[in-house]
Amino acid sequence: MASQTPLKIVITAGPTREPLDAVRFMSNYSTGTIGYQMAREAIRRGHKVVLISGPVSLKAPEKAIVVKVESAREMYLAVNKHFKLCHCLIMSAAVSDYRPKKIISGKLKKIRKNLSLDLVRNPDILKQLAKIKKDRITVGFALEASNLISNASNKLREKNLDLIIANKKTKGPSPFGKEKPSGFFIDNRLKAERFTKIPKKALAGLIIDKVEKLWYTYHRSKRG
């Protein structure tokens, strides 16, 4: 499949960090593994990859253009810049939905017994960009605590996606932290296809297969 025209694929990976003060931040347990595996697999097949990554301790594939970011707003700016020229956006980053309203200058002191933080919403990167996607393929991930297929399907529709990879929140910090995740691929006809305990490398390959199929089928059908 990849012997056809190579694609330019933007992949996001890892967590974002939302600063509280000069030394602290809010974040999550994302390791970035699946994003980095997808980047590696896409490059192996000859595609061009821009890997936009939150802070992780992984080695990026050599041929990827790597953009390191910290906060959701930085990620938004980077994705926005590269989205214009891409064929496909895969958002596997665990983007923080909220950030502290104010960043406290210096180090927050423990003077008060209790402390409340005001949080504000971050931009929904995928939703914003998928609104203006034209013929681009947009792929998201959904981590759901309940009603996995229906919640993920709603997300696919709300965010105007071609594919969503749905994963059930189980015990422990991160399901994609598991070596062999299980879940569903849901496509834009809302067809759900189960995957069970697949090693992450193989899962990354299946996602790139689906992206290639979506792109090349779409363009073949446009050409009639």
Which distant-in-sequence residues (6+ apart) come within 8 Å of 73 by Cβ? Answer: 99, 122, 123
193, 211 contact by CB (below 8 A): no
x-or-dash string of contact with ligand C5P, 42-81, rule CB under 6 A: ------------------------------x---------
Q: How far is CA 206 from CA 125, 194, 217, in A?
A: 24, 12, 16
166, 136 contact by CB (below 8 A): no
Q: State phi, psi for 18 to the nearest 5 degrees.
A: -115, 110
What distance in Å separates the CA atoms of residue 63 and residue 45, rounded to the nearest whole number?
12
User: Is the Cβ of residue 63 or residue 90 nearer to ligand C5P in the bound state?
Assistant: 90
Binding segment toward ligand C5P, per CB under 6 A, in 137-145, 187-195, 198-206, 216-224 = 137-145
Rg (CA), the chain: 18
Per CB under 6 A, the list member of 21, 124, 187, 209 interacting with ligand C5P is 124
User: Is the Cβ of residue 50 or residue 95 nearer to ligand C5P in the bound state?
Assistant: 95
Per CB under 6 A, the list member of 23, 97, 131, 193 interacting with ligand C5P is 97
Cα 124-67-76 angle, rounded to 5 deg? 15
Q: How many residues bind ligand C5P (CB under 6 A)?
A: 13
Binding segment toward ligand C5P, per CB under 6 A, in 25-33, 87-95, 191-199, 213-221 = 87-95
User: Is the Cβ of residue 124 or residue 209 nearer to ligand C5P in the bound state?
Assistant: 124
Interface with ligand C5P, residue 91, by CB under 6 A: yes
Q: Which two tokens stand for residue 16?
A: 């974002």
Q: Which of residues 139-198 bind ligand C5P (CB under 6 A)?
A: 140-142, 155
Binding segment toward ligand C5P, per CB under 6 A, in 33-41, 61-69, 93-101, 109-117 = 93-101
Give the strand pairing for 98-100 and 163-168: unpaired
Amino acid at 97: D
Q: Which residues bind ligand C5P (CB under 6 A)?
A: 72, 91, 93, 95, 97, 122, 124-126, 140-142, 155
